[in-house]
Amino acid sequence: MDAAGFRELWGDFEPIGRSPEGGYLRYSWTETDLECRNWFRAQAEKRNLEVETDRNGNLYAWWGDRHAGDAVLTGSHFDSVPHGGAYDGPLGIVSAFLAVDELRASGAKRRHPIGIVAFSEEEGGRFGVPCVGTRLMTGALDADRARDLTDSDGVTLAEAMDSLNADPSVLGPDPERLRQIGVFVELHIEQGRALDAEDAPVGVATAIWPHGRWRFTFTGEANHAGTTRLPDRSDPMLTAAFMILAARKEARLAGGVATVGRIESDPGAANVIAGKVHAWLDARAPDEAVLNAILEGIESKVSERAGRDGTQVGSRAESETPVVEFDAALRDRIASLLGGVPVLPTGAGHDAGVVSAHVPTAMLFVRNRTGISHAPSETADDEDCAAGVDALAAVLRELAC
């Protein structure tokens, strides 16, 4: 694959979901999602691949009959975070179509079915829980909870699926499908600069850091911003602000990362002391002990602060992901097949992390020279993306032909 060949198909997909305010708004079960699904379907039909959607809204294109079992599945997700980058997710899907093209052009003979997949709602950008499509398929997310997930407009996942003529009543575990998959390989833009530091266009994942998403609720007393004396206030915004700073400090001290990127104040008026504040904590660490140290540090310091503020604090886990160690034999086999490319962990969550608990799974990373992701300026060189396609084609040949 050369850069021009990659750019041709990439350029065909890239405009879908681009926001005039920058980055991409590719939310699941929206008209933009439908555009992505239609693009996928057209690419599959052009290649005479059989298209099907599973009960959880994950979309597949099959080269060979998946019922034969031991399928080699590759792909990623279309959905983005709000104003996210172009590559996070779609790169793995576009590269999968191009890798299949390469295999066919070389006359490769398949021993196993090869599938390309677009998993649904990986980011949780619309419904707040990441990897919905894979967590439902593997039974890691309860179907009733999923149906009731709501977006910022109060639209439930069930209603959103209905709006695109998908049936939410059949959401749930899909063990028969999992049994048909022999191995899953996800290609993804690196969300960091490790490959750039090693001057390598492609790498192989070793692990995904343990991480989670917690919704904090701070409760105080709504009151007038101008007439309420300071000693008389129970202002939850103070406790929330303290939590945000405490999270950063605890993460720094423990050796992990912690972020509060979303905060909502109720009633949210400039001249009203908030009655309630919701803040979402995203915390990640190289291992569970460090992650727990961060969480315990935050919890203890914030509850002490709430006592001083006269507020109450509650928190609820929205998603928790234990450390993922990818299949070591598969990892080493792929790394040596690709000529000894770097192997590296990641702090980013992926569908591959969810699937890996059920199916031998590997991830390929494509160099991201700035390391920036989840932001409009996320980018990768066409040459590196083409190298990623070649690497994926070599892996598919090794595993399926």
Q: Residue 33 and residue 118: Cα distance in Å, rounded?
A: 11
349 binding ligand HGY? (CB under 6 A): yes
Nearer to ligand HGY, 66 or 188 (CB): 188
Contacting positions for Mn ion (CB under 5 A): 88-89
Q: Which of 64, 65, 93 is nearest to 77 (CA)?
A: 93
Q: What is the largest CA-CA distance in the chain?
A: 79
- Which of ligand HGY, Mn ion, none interacts with 130 (beta carbon under 5 to 8 A by kind)? ligand HGY
Q: Is 380 in the site for ligand HGY (CB under 6 A)?
A: no
Residue 207 Cβ vs ligand HGY, minimum distance, rounded to whole Å? 13
Kindly state the smallest distance separating residue 372's Cβ from ligand HGY, in Å: 13
| Residue nearer to ligand HGY on the CB measure, 174 or 351 | 351
- The pair of three-digit structure tokens given for residue 382, joined into one six-digit string: 């066409």
Beta bridge partners of 52: 60
Within a 13 Å sphere around the CA of 378, how many CA atoms are in the beta-carbon half? 26
Asked if 259 and 282 count as a contact pair (C-beta separation under 8 A), the reply is yes
Which lies closer to ligand HGY via its Cβ, residue 102 or residue 282?
282
Return d(Cα 283, Cα 265) in angstroms, integer: 21
Nearer to Mn ion, 23 or 113 (CB): 23
With contact defined as beta carbons under 8 Å apart, do 60 and 23 qualify? no
The DSSP bridge partners found for residue 320 are: 212
Least Cβ distance, residue 90 to ligand HGY (angstroms) = 13
The residue among 352, 300, 293 whose CA lies nearest residue 321 is: 352
Q: Minimum distance between the CB of residue 77 and Mn ion, rounded to whole angstroms? A: 6
- What is the per-residue binding string for ligand HGY in 111-140, x denoting contact by CB under 6 A? -----------xx------x----------
Nearest to 276 by CA among 225, 235, 231: 235
Cβ 200 vs Cβ 342: under 8 Å = yes
Minimal distance, residue 81 CB to Mn ion, in Å: 6
Q: List the single partner that 89 binds among Mn ion, ligand HGY, none, CB under 5 to 8 Å by kind.
A: Mn ion
What minimum distance in Å lies between the beta carbon of 82 and ligand HGY? 12
Task: Please identify which residue in 129, 251, 283, 348 interacts with ligand HGY, judged by CB under 6 A.
Answer: 348
Q: Which is nearer to ligand HGY, 24 or 63 (CB)?
A: 24
CB of 190 or CB of 235, closer to ligand HGY: 190
Contact 157, 149 (CB under 8 A): yes
Q: Which residues bind ligand HGY (CB under 6 A)?
A: 122-123, 130, 348-349
